[in-house]
Amino acid sequence: MAEISSTLLYGAFMIYLFSTLFFAMSISDKKHEKAAHTKKWGKIGFITACVGFAAQLGYFITRWIASGHAPVSNLFEFTTFFGMMMVLAFIILYAIYRTNGLGVFAMPVALLVIAYASMFPKDISPLIPALQSDWLKIHVTTAALGEGILAISFVSGLIYLIRTVDQSVSSKKTKWIEIVLYSLISVVGFIIISLAFKGAGYEASFEIMNDQNQPEKIVYDMPAIAGPANGEQLDDSFGPLFSTPSWMNGANASIKLNTFIWSLLSGAILYGLLRLILRKRIAAALQPKVRINPDLLDEISYRAVAIGFPIFTLGALIFAMIWAQEAWSRFWGWDPKEVWALITFLFYAAYLHLRLSRGWHGEKSAWLCVLGFWIITFNLIAVNLVLVGLHSYA
Amino acid sequence: MKKKRLWFRSALLAILVIAIGYTIYNSIFEESGTYIKKGDKAPNFVLTDLNGNRVELEDYRGKGVFLNFWGTWCKPCEREMPYMQRQYETYKEQGVEILAVNVSETNVSVKNFADRYRLTFPIPMDKQREVTKAYGIGPIPTTILIDKNGKVVGRTSESLSEKKIISFMEKIKP
Amino acid sequence: MQSITCECGHSNPYGTSLCQACGKPLDSDVEVLSSMRYEGSARRSQTYKKTFVDHTWNFFSSVRVGVWLIIIILVAAAIGTIFPQETFIPPNVDPATHYESEYGTLGLIYYLLGFHKLYGSWWFIILLGMLGLSIIIASLDRGIPLYKALKTQRVTRHDQFMKNQRLFSVSEEAELEEIKYTLESLRYKVREEKGNLFAEKGRFSRWGAYVNHVGLIIFLTGAMLRFFPGMYVDEILWVREGEKASIPGTKSDDGQYYLENKEFILEMYDKEEKKFNSALSSVDGEVAKNYQSNVTLYKTTPNHTIGEEPELIKVKDGEIRVNEPFKFDSFALYQTDFKLNEFSKMSFELEEKATGKKFGKLTVDLHEPEKKYDLGNGYRVEIEEYFPNFILNEQSQPSTVNNLPDNPAFVFSMYSPETPKGEKAFVGIQKNIEAGENQFKMSFAGIETKDLTALTVRKDHTLWIIALGGVIFMIGVTQGLYWNYRRIWIKQNQDGVWAAAHTNKNWYGLKKDLDFLSEKTSLIALVDKESDTK
């Protein structure tokens, strides 16, 4: 069952890739056959996305059967599921607005998320007592769906910015768009570099004193740029160039920081290469390809927040509180993950209120959607990796 | 109409400001939990003391009670014991009783300790921590002052100086 | 402050920008479209500026102020996650030094500014209170006038109102019945007046914002009540296996609850289990599968005095697991912690060192040792001193850390017919120090242990308020965000049939309705002014 499950996930990944290609074809710039061409390939892209979603749903169900619990219990499973919810959110919004351009951007972001997930250990792990509750599936799936829908508002906002920000001169705005694109490319960089070092079987070992003052060996699978705090190198491998600050105290913080630095570096190389090939800013190269009505993009991103916000609140705050009351005897304990869910809630609440004011539609609104997605990813990744708390299962 | 509006606004604002103010007051001055504090009626309890005598708080009605919670292993408790013994001898005649409730220790340890400091006041042994829990005792030593009517008139968790003990004795003297 | 009477005859409150009934701009510089947010109704706060109370009121009435409060709270909450809060640092360290030693200068600053207990700080509570104030006042100021305006709106609207809508068209002629029929098929509620039409759909969604604000206020009230004494109990209860203990916070006039810990169970996952094999083999140590306490709940008779041997009446048995609290009355017990293998009894034998001959065995209850143990035939042992958790103190004197028997040690006096004066020895775990040269010794003969379970005792009278607030918030937020208020006006003028439309959001959906309308009828498609300008 576990094998069928991973095959289905792999299949879903490939199908999503094709769906992206079909959507890209639908907006390719042959003007004379515009309407029919766009409609045809958009339809094919959409159907492909649905087929891919069905395959991933198959992965989800089979893995559930194999493990005996909802496969949302570790970072691999959760992140995969988040990617799946992004696809579902895209399907919903495509069904409403039928915008092919959204697919060209949303599908690759979902692909990135799923590929990123596959870098975590994929073993089926048993549930620790704290996770043995029906609320695990209820809370996590609802929260992920809410976040997936909010992610679409980011995608739509990003397209809005690429579409509308003046690319003829370099400005603060163009720089920030490039930074956003660069961070997406860094995820690609992370995947490539992880696979490369894993393929080469790289290892570097350090010895550190752990919290109980016992020596502990930690193993890097990438050359150490950032070594562990107060660590001693056990072999003559490369580095480290500096030590991880001691206040980063999540599980294996130094390894994660090191991986993060490698991702940024490889992302920079990829980005540099792209710039060399395109000979202009990436957003400037993309701009002529996206010819979606900005008003429509603005509405899609607003609509995504309007749909996603209540679901997010329900899943990430209300269900979370009910579960916390059952498991930890208090519905709220200011655990970092809880606080960041609240921050996400407050941020989108502020967004919804700002939409009432004049001058906050369009571009400003799009920037907010980008920032909102940054908060969500920060909560998904950084809070588990950097901050200490009850949610550090990874 | 305008008057009514002003009244409505003032009332609403006042209610909210009072609510917030009281919340802050509670968050700062009241520790959460259900412990016995100044102004409460001291709950009655029955324990056996080190010498095997039954000690019931209600029997001391009419007297001031200096109710101390302590342990042999706690340094600040140890420090205040000789002071308590000395003042006990002075104030016993004036109607103040000391009850030094030991928190869940063995007779062997407490007996040794009491002998070493020649303690003569009753030492009720709270083996099961029943009284300790009921009085919401956190850190020890904690001293609770009970007046002749059985009402709590003071509570402190500091290590007491002899002067402080005298002032407490004066406070609960009937 | 007088009311303004519009040419249509409707009397509007002072400050109104669009007539509540016909929508005519009441002032020449009013922009219709931007006034539509609250129907051009008079936001009261804007109209009375006199006393201090009014100024305060106006301040909190502003959405801008509300948004700023949200952002300040958001930033403050984020700062609180940079370093762990005081409740998350180890319980035995002093926060004053912990933050600096652990996180350096930044940690010290963090501590000095009071961020280590940010969420309970007076200024954070004030911020939340101000947000509450802003929610109440802003909602009152907008909700009530909006309700009035939507209630009084008429079918026939002023020309200027129509012309300035975002979606507008003039058709030469149109069949009214046909339009009405089509709109009704789209589930609009259509009203007719003098040959003019007014169709609306989803008006209730306009109340969503106010409903969810009510929910939030109830929620915040519930959160505030937790600071009040007696609203909730939060205690921890340690019980040894086989023992009964009173449950703190549960005493009432009809008695006190007691809990017996019959058994504590700790289960680990089997490393050989095929399903989880690869995951389990990659971790050191074992992975816990279950923490469980099997308990029995008792209650004393009503006249129970604290400390007295209780007369217990069994209430019920139960099993407590993580995620499965044990509930009774308004209380709940949660599996929180445990301690395995606490020493409970230690056995020794009196042994003659030269011959190895033994003269009897004694078992010391570590929670209540006897003073004397008579072994018969003139052999006896006395306990001179007992240190449950032995340590050498600063003066190098034997002493105890606390009253828990984690590292028991004794000073024994051993008496025998040969040594009637007694011999002293200090005996602890792997320690045996003699005072002088002894003939006898205490040899270790076994130990018994017990498990302890730790349960959190909770009672929370604010839960239902919090839950109610949450439910109302969700209803309101869904109502407001999943539906929208669409309106279409059809007016017969001299130059043709005017059509205008408005929605509070989701214009795309409204346009689809209008496209359908112009497809089915002779009405000309409505033009979106905002799209044209781009």
Residue B145's DSSP bridge partners are B66, B154
Residue C500 lies in a domain: no
Instruction: Report the pLDDT value the prediction gives residue C533, as an integer from 0 to 100.
Output: 40
Instruction: Report the pLDDT value the prediction gives residue C95, as an integer from 0 to 100.
Output: 76
Chain C residues whose CB is inside 8 A of the B24 CB are 122, 125-126
Instruction: Report the pLDDT value the prediction gives residue C212, as an integer from 0 to 100.
Output: 94
Give the residue-averaged pLDDT of C479-508: 90
| Residue for token pair 């009540």 | C225
Query: Are A12 and A132 within one domain?
Result: yes
Tens digit of pLDDT for each residue in C143-199?
888 888 888 888 988 888 888 888 999 988 888 888 999 999 999 999 998 889 999
Alpha-carbon distance A250 to A351, whole Å? 31
**Contact assignment for A336 to C477 by CB distance below 8 Å:** no
- Letter for the amino acid at C74? L
Interface with chain A: mutation pick from C60, C65, C81, highest number of A CBs within 10 Å: C81
Residue C262 lies in a domain: yes
Interface with chain C: mutation pick from B4, B27, B74, B127, highest number of C CBs within 10 Å: B27
Tens digit of pLDDT for each residue in A42-60?
899 999 999 999 999 999 9
> Taking a contact as any Cβ pair under 8 Å apart, which residues of chain C between 302 and 341 contact chain A?
321-325, 332, 334, 336
Residue A281 has pLDDT above 70, yes or no: yes
Residue B39 lies in a domain: no
Query: Are A27 and A108 within one domain?
Result: yes
The pair phi, psi for residue C264, each rounded to 5°, is -110, 135
Residue C90 has pLDDT above 80, yes or no: no
Instruction: Report the pLDDT value the prediction gives residue B36, as an integer from 0 to 100.
Output: 76
Quick check: C87 contacting A, CB < 8 Å? yes
The number of domains in chain B is: 2
Residue partners of C56: CB distance under 8 A and separation at least 6: B13
CA distance C64 to chain A (A): 8
**Contact assignment for C279 to A125 by CB distance below 8 Å:** yes
**In contact, B154 and B171? CB cutoff 8 Å:** yes
Alpha-carbon distance C279 to C239, whole Å? 34
Alpha-carbon distance A36 to A253, whole Å? 53
Which of C53, C120, C306 is the closest to B10 by Cβ? Answer: C53
Residue C142 lies in a domain: yes
Tell me whether chains A and C touch (3+ CB pairs under 8 A).
yes
Residue B38 lies in a domain: no
Which of C122, C137, C385 is the closest to B112 by Cβ? Answer: C385
Residue C200 has pLDDT above 90, yes or no: yes
- Residue B81: CB atoms within 10 A of its CB come to 21
Query: Are A161 and A288 within one domain?
Result: yes
DSSP, collapsed to helix, strand or coil, labels residue B152 as: strand
Q: Among the three residues C110, C134, C154, which one is the final residue of a domain in this structure?
A: C154
DSSP, collapsed to helix, strand or coil, labels residue C327 as: strand
**In contact, A72 and A78? CB cutoff 8 Å:** yes
Query: Are B84 and B50 within one domain?
Result: yes
Query: Are A49 and A152 within one domain?
Result: yes
Residue A291's DSSP bridge partners are none
Which of C235, C368, C401 is the closest to B107 by Cβ? Answer: C368
Q: How many CB pairs under 8 A join A and C?
A: 150
CA distances from B66 to A32, B150, B151, B158, B166 (A): 98, 11, 12, 14, 11
Question: Which pLDDT band, with edges at 50, 70 and 90, does A340 fall under?
Answer: very high
- Strand A226-227 and strand C372-376: the pairing is unpaired
Query: Are B23 and B66 within one domain?
Result: no
Query: Are A144 and A266 within one domain?
Result: no
Q: Which of A193-207, C307-321, C461-475 has the highest mean pLDDT?
A: C461-475
Residue C25 has pLDDT above 60, yes or no: yes
Q: Among the three residues A258, A279, A300, which one is the final residue of a domain in this structure?
A: A279
Query: Are B120 and B153 within one domain?
Result: yes
Which residue of chain B comes nearest to C370, CA vs CA? Answer: B108
Residue C428 lies in a domain: yes
Question: What does the DSSP 8-state code read for residue C2?
Answer: -
Instruction: Report the pLDDT value the prediction gives residue C505, as an integer from 0 to 100.
Output: 85
Query: Are A138 and A180 within one domain?
Result: no
Looking at per-residue pLDDT, the higher value among A260 and B2 belongs to A260
Which of B22, B106, B131 is the closest to C368 by Cβ? Answer: B106
Looking at per-residue pLDDT, the higher value among A374 and C38 belongs to A374
Chain C residues whose CB is inside 8 A of the A68 CB are 275
Residue A204 lies in a domain: yes
Q: Among the three residues C128, C154, C180, which one is the final residue of a domain in this structure?
A: C154
DSSP, collapsed to helix, strand or coil, labels residue C58 as: helix
Instruction: Report the pLDDT value the prediction gives residue C398, as an integer from 0 to 100.
Output: 83
**In contact, A93 and A305? CB cutoff 8 Å:** no
**Contact assignment for A303 to C67 by CB distance below 8 Å:** no
Report the CATH number at residue B66. Answer: 3.40.30.10
Residue A391 lies in a domain: no
**Contact assignment for B27 to C53 by CB distance below 8 Å:** no
Instruction: Report the pLDDT value the prediction gives residue C34, as an integer from 0 to 100.
Output: 74
Instruction: Report the pLDDT value the prediction gives residue A246, as an integer from 0 to 100.
Output: 65
Query: Are A137 and A79 within one domain?
Result: yes
Give the residue-averaged pLDDT of A122-130: 84
Query: Are C322 and C380 within one domain?
Result: no
Picking from C325, C161, C151, C309, the residue whose alpha carbon sits closest to that of residue C237 is C325
The DSSP result for C420-470, as a single string, is TT-EEEEEETTEEEESS--SEEEEEEEEEEEEEEEEEEEEETTHHHHHHHH
Query: Are B68 and B147 within one domain?
Result: yes
**Among A128-132, B12-16, B31-35, the least confident range:** B31-35
Query: Are A95 and A15 within one domain?
Result: yes
Which of B6, B20, B108 is the closest to C125 by Cβ? Answer: B20
**In contact, B125 and B45? CB cutoff 8 Å:** no
Query: Are A199 and A128 within one domain?
Result: no
Residue A392 lies in a domain: no
Residue A244 has pLDDT above 90, yes or no: no
The pLDDT > 70 percentage for chain C reads: 96
Question: What does the DSSP 8-state code read for residue C116?
Answer: G
Instruction: Report the pLDDT value the prediction gives residue A205, as an integer from 0 to 100.
Output: 80
Tens digit of pLDDT for each residue in A73-114?
888 899 999 999 999 999 999 999 888 889 999 999 999 999
**Contact assignment for A389 to C88 by CB distance below 8 Å:** yes
Give the residue-averaged pLDDT of B124-128: 88
Residue C98 lies in a domain: yes
- Letter for the amino acid at C188? Y
Q: How many CB pairs under 8 A join B and C?
A: 124
Residue C260 lies in a domain: yes
Locate C87 and state its tokens.
Answer: 């409740």
CA distance C84 to chain A (A): 7
Residue C294 lies in a domain: yes
Locate A12 and state its tokens.
Answer: 């879903």
Strand C527-528: give its sheet, edge to edge. C189-193, C196-201, C486-493, C496-503, C167-171, C527-528
Residue C528's DSSP bridge partners are C167
**Contact assignment for A329 to C290 by CB distance below 8 Å:** no
Tens digit of pLDDT for each residue in C205-231?
999 999 999 999 999 999 888 877 777
In terms of residue numbers, what domain contains C349? 343-445
Interface with chain B: mutation pick from C403, C404, C461, highest number of B CBs within 10 Å: C403
Alpha-carbon distance A389 to A336, whole Å? 6
> Taking a contact as any Cβ pair under 8 Å apart, which residues of chain B between 10 and 29 contact chain C?
10, 12-13, 16, 19-20, 22-24, 26-28
Picking from A287, A371, A304, A43, the residue whose alpha carbon sits closest to that of residue A152 is A304
Which of C1, C224, C385 is the closest to B23 by Cβ? Answer: C224
- Letter for the amino acid at C35? S
**Contact assignment for C125 to B32 by CB distance below 8 Å:** no
Query: Are C145 and C239 within one domain?
Result: no
State the Cα angle at B20 between B18 and B24, rounded to 5°. Answer: 115
**Contact assignment for B103 to C129 by CB distance below 8 Å:** no
Query: Are B1 and B87 within one domain?
Result: no
Tell me whether chains B and A touch (3+ CB pairs under 8 A).
no
DSSP, collapsed to helix, strand or coil, labels residue C84 as: coil
Question: Which pLDDT band, with edges at 50, 70 and 90, does A250 fall under?
Answer: low
Quick check: C249 contacting A, CB < 8 Å? no
> Taking a contact as any Cβ pair under 8 Å apart, which residues of chain B between 80 and 99 contact chain C?
none
Residue partners of C168: CB distance under 8 A and separation at least 6: C162, C498, C499, C500, C501, C526, C527, C529
Give the burial string for C214-234 (b: 16+ CB within 10 Å, else e). Answer: bbbbbbbbbbbbbbeeebbbb
| Residue for token pair 């010498």 | B51
Which residue of chain B comes nearest to C50, CA vs CA? Answer: B6
| Burial group, residue A348, by CB count within 10 angstroms (0-12, 13-18, 19+) | buried
Residue A149 has pLDDT above 90, yes or no: yes
Which of A327, A347, A353 is the closest to C323 by Cβ? Answer: A327
CA distance C5 to chain B (A): 19
Question: Which pLDDT band, with edges at 50, 70 and 90, does A305 fall under?
Answer: very high
Alpha-carbon distance A311 to C477, whole Å? 10
Query: Are A172 and A288 within one domain?
Result: no
Chain C residues whose CB is inside 8 A of the A336 CB are 81
The number of domains in chain A is: 2
State the Cα angle at A185 between A182 and A187, rounded to 5°. Answer: 120
The pLDDT > 90 percentage for chain A reads: 46
CA distance B22 to chain C (A): 9
Residue A43 lies in a domain: yes
Residue C534 has pLDDT above 80, yes or no: no
Residue B41 lies in a domain: no
Query: Are C435 and C370 within one domain?
Result: yes
Chain B residues whose CB is inside 8 A of the C232 CB are 32
Residue A394 lies in a domain: no
CA distance C176 to chain B (A): 45
What radius of gyration, in Å, describes the C-alpha atoms of chain C?
Answer: 39
The DSSP result for C329-366, as a single string, is TTEEEEEEEEEEEEEEEEEEEEEETTT--EEEEEEEET
Q: Which of A288-302, C449-463, C466-480 has the highest mean pLDDT?
A: C466-480
Instruction: Report the pLDDT value the prediction gives residue B32, as an integer from 0 to 100.
Output: 47
Residue C432 lies in a domain: yes
Q: What is the CA A188 to chain-centroid distance, rounded?
A: 12
**In contact, A264 and A192? CB cutoff 8 Å:** no
The number of domains in chain C is: 3
Picking from C371, C298, C366, C342, the residue whose alpha carbon sits closest to that of residue C452 is C342
Chain C residues whose CB is inside 8 A of the B27 CB are 120, 122, 125, 227
Query: Are C305 and C354 within one domain?
Result: no
State the Cα angle at A96 between A90 and A97, rounded to 5°. Answer: 85
- Letter for the amino acid at B172? I
Residue A13 lies in a domain: yes
Largest CA distance in chain C: 132
Residue A320 lies in a domain: yes
Question: What does the DSSP 8-state code read for residue A284?
Answer: H
Give the residue-averaged pLDDT of C301-306: 84
Query: Are B83 and B57 within one domain?
Result: yes
Query: Are A8 and A128 within one domain?
Result: yes
**Contact assignment for C245 to B12 by CB distance below 8 Å:** no
- Letter for the amino acid at C383? I
Tens digit of pLDDT for each residue in B147-168?
888 888 888 888 888 888 888 8
In terms of residue numbers, what domain contains A308? 2-167+280-385
CA distance C373 to chain B (A): 13
Tens digit of pLDDT for each residue in C251-294?
888 888 999 999 998 888 887 777 777 777 766 677 888 899 99
CA distance B114 to chain C (A): 13
**Contact assignment for C232 to B32 by CB distance below 8 Å:** yes
Q: Among the three residues A252, A279, A306, which one is the final residue of a domain in this structure?
A: A279
Query: Are B5 and B81 within one domain?
Result: no
What radius of gyration, in Å, describes the C-alpha atoms of chain A?
Answer: 22
Alpha-carbon distance B166 to C3, whole Å? 74
Interface with chain C: mutation pick from B107, B130, B137, B140, highest number of C CBs within 10 Å: B130
Query: Are B3 and B70 within one domain?
Result: no
Residue A394 has pLDDT above 50, yes or no: no
Which of B104, B106, B126 is the closest to C307 by Cβ? Answer: B126
Element (DSSP H or E) covering residue C198: strand C196-201
Residue C388 has pLDDT above 80, yes or no: yes
The pair phi, psi for residue C234, each rounded to 5°, is -145, 95
Tell me whether chains C and B touch (3+ CB pairs under 8 A).
yes
Question: What does the DSSP 8-state code read for residue C115?
Answer: G
In terms of residue numbers, what domain contains B12? 1-30
Query: Are C286 and C389 within one domain?
Result: no
Instruction: Report the pLDDT value the prediction gives residue C1, as an integer from 0 to 100.
Output: 56
Query: Are B2 and B84 within one domain?
Result: no
**Contact assignment for A124 to C289 by CB distance below 8 Å:** no
Q: Among the three residues C393, C411, C445, which one is the final residue of a domain in this structure?
A: C445
Residue C512 has pLDDT above 60, yes or no: yes
Residue A226's DSSP bridge partners are A242
Which of B10, B16, B73 is the closest to C402 by Cβ? Answer: B73
Query: Are A274 and A231 within one domain?
Result: yes
Residue C49 has pLDDT above 70, yes or no: no
**Contact assignment for C288 to A128 by CB distance below 8 Å:** yes
Query: Are C48 and C80 within one domain?
Result: yes
Instruction: Report the pLDDT value the prediction gives residue A385, as an integer from 0 to 100.
Output: 65
The pair phi, psi for residue C252, each rounded to 5°, is -140, -175
- Residue C104: CB atoms within 10 A of its CB come to 14
**Among A204-208, A233-237, B106-110, the least confident range:** A233-237
